Amino acid sequence: MPLGRSIRTEIGELVIATSIIQLANGFFGTFVSLRVAIENFDAAGLVLSAYFAGFTVGALRSGKIIERIGHIRAFAAFAGLVAAATVVMPLLVGSLAWAVLRAIVGFGCAGIFVTTESWLSAKAPPSERGRVFSIYMVGTFLALALGQLLIARADIKGATPFNAIVALFAVALIIVTAARAEPPRVSATAALPYGALTRAAPVAVVGAALSGLVSGAFYALVPAWMQGQSTPRATIALFMLVAVLGGLAFQIPVGRLSDRFDRRIVLALLSVGFAVTALVMVLLPRTPPRILPAAALLGGFMSTLYPVCVAHAHDCMPADRVVAVSSQLILVSGVGSVLGPLIGASLMTHFEIYGVFYLMAAAVLLLAVVAGLGRLMTPVPKQREVPFEILAPQAGPLAHDPLDSSDETILAR
């Protein structure tokens, strides 16, 4: 059933608002990494990992808030929470204060994405959901990429970037709250017992944890190290931009491969490709013509690890557990994302950036071994008809179920 004009308008407003937030979020993450390097915090790893901790908690708990107060008010509350925490950051400059405030920002951002994605899932007819979410995720990737470009012109030492981020969140808030939209109905789904997913899809669980560790370390620590090496901000922005765009470019071809072949084999190949690229980047001369293509490959391999893990987990579980499975994988990935900056920052004190790249390479090589052993020890699971979803870095689909045939939203507990 085609989308009506009012539904198209409502979905378009949501996609635009969320893209503006992702623009701010993409800039915010890299900016904080650079600012932490300048401030030389004692607990830099804690500050950088706090966002992922808050994001994980928000992804798991925001569904309850949406059930209680509805989508529009929930979106406003989460956006207001992020804006308030962002405004306070330049007023309370310190490791502990920023760790708490970044956790609050992560919680609020997760709530915004859960609200948006569950809203889109409820409003888009089943026959149109794939197209709607493809547009949504492409907008997310492009906004995250454009957010990196703002780094080149930002005054990293001043308060202006914080004000710009708050302004972008305020614009998104205005778009959503001023829209003439009817919020969707909500319902809850039964929780999945802990341990069931690990027994059914151990490769997916290990993969989610390690992919979270790798992406958390990369996005939090690499820009900070480049800043410490007096790398021009324009170069840092270009490097991060290329990595995000590489992630976008890999989504469709890797998705098609994972739909045709055993996902564990695809996961192992992606892991080996990432490890080789990470080690090559350690050896390459740090000139843009050599580093930027490697950054695109690194971003491509990194951004597809988690989606393949999610698709493999869904292959191994009943269709009515899709949301519960996604919820648990978010938790596992979030734990990995918190540990990545903490472990990586500790390694950087002894081995500089080489320690971070060795950590990432070791993590994905471990994943390649686990995936390979899983393929040898257990049969290939039956794959679903439309199993692979594009998931953007730090903001993959958190709540929607594209296989759900109802018009109601299903929120993970």
CATH number of the domain within which 119 lies: 1.20.1250.20
Which residues lie below 8 Å from residue 362, measured CB to CB, with a gap of 6+?
275
Is residue 227 domain-shared with residue 88, that is, in the same domain?
Answer: no
- The CA distance from 167 to 174, in Å, is 11
Secondary structure (DSSP) of 47-75:
HHHHHHHHHHHHHHHHHHHHHHH-HHHHH
| Predicted pLDDT of residue 127 | 63
Q: Would you give the DSSP letter of residue 262?
A: -
- The CA distance from 83 to 359, in Å, is 34
Is residue 221 domain-shared with residue 360, that is, in the same domain?
Answer: yes
Is residue 211 domain-shared with residue 123, that is, in the same domain?
Answer: no
Is residue 135 domain-shared with residue 162, that is, in the same domain?
Answer: yes
Is residue 165 domain-shared with residue 296, that is, in the same domain?
Answer: no
Which parts of the chain sit beneath pLDDT 50? Answer: 1, 385-386, 395-413
Q: Which two tokens stand for residue 52?
A: 């992922």
411 inside domain = no
| Predicted pLDDT of residue 298 | 95
130 inside domain = yes
Provide φ and ψ at 379, rounded to 5°: -70, 165
402 inside domain = no
Is residue 273 domain-shared with residue 156, that is, in the same domain?
Answer: no
End-to-end CA distance of the chain, in Å?
Answer: 30
Residue showing tokens 């390979």 = 372
Cβ-contact 33, 161 below 8 angstroms: no
Helices (H) and strands (E) in the chain, counts: 12, 2
112 inside domain = yes
Q: Which two tokens stand for residue 193?
A: 């017992």
Is residue 117 domain-shared with residue 16, that is, in the same domain?
Answer: yes
Angstrom distances, CA of residue 348 to CA of 27, 351, 358, 380:
23, 5, 11, 40
| Predicted pLDDT of residue 364 | 95
Neighbouring-strand partners of residue 188: 411
Contacts 24+ apart (CB under 8 A), 400-407: 400/117, 400/118, 400/120, 400/121, 400/129, 400/133, 401/121, 401/322, 401/323, 401/326, 402/121, 402/129, 402/130, 402/133, 403/319, 403/322, 404/121, 404/126, 404/322, 405/126, 407/122, 407/125, 407/184
Sign of the torsion formed by the C-alpha atoms of 227, 232, 233 and 235: negative
Is residue 226 domain-shared with residue 151, that is, in the same domain?
Answer: no
* Amino acid identity for residue 79 in this structure: A
Is residue 203 domain-shared with residue 105, that is, in the same domain?
Answer: no
Select from 328, 279, 308 the least CA-distant residue to 391: 308
Q: Which two tokens stand for residue 339?
A: 């540990």
Neighbouring-strand partners of residue 409: 186
Q: How many domains does the chain have?
A: 2
Is residue 224 domain-shared with residue 171, that is, in the same domain?
Answer: no
Cβ-contact 93, 156 below 8 angstroms: no
400 inside domain = no
* Amino acid identity for residue 4 in this structure: G
Is residue 207 domain-shared with residue 244, that is, in the same domain?
Answer: yes
Neighbouring-strand partners of residue 411: 188
For helices 44-69 and 71-88, the axis angle rounded to 10 degrees is 160
Say if residue 91 is exposed, middle or buried (CB neighbours under 10 Å; 0-12, 13-18, 19+): exposed
Cβ-contact 298, 274 below 8 angstroms: yes
186 inside domain = no
- The CA distance from 252 to 255, in Å, is 5
- In terms of residue numbers, what domain contains 331? 192-394
Say if residue 246 is exposed, middle or buried (CB neighbours under 10 Å; 0-12, 13-18, 19+): buried
412 inside domain = no
- The CA distance from 185 to 70, in Å, is 8
404 inside domain = no
Q: Would you give the DSSP letter of residue 383?
A: P
| DSSP H stretches of helix in 70-128 | 71-88, 95-123
- The CA distance from 42 to 110, in Å, is 27
Is residue 166 domain-shared with residue 266, that is, in the same domain?
Answer: no
Q: List for the chain the helix, strand, coil content (%; round to 5).
A: 80, 0, 20
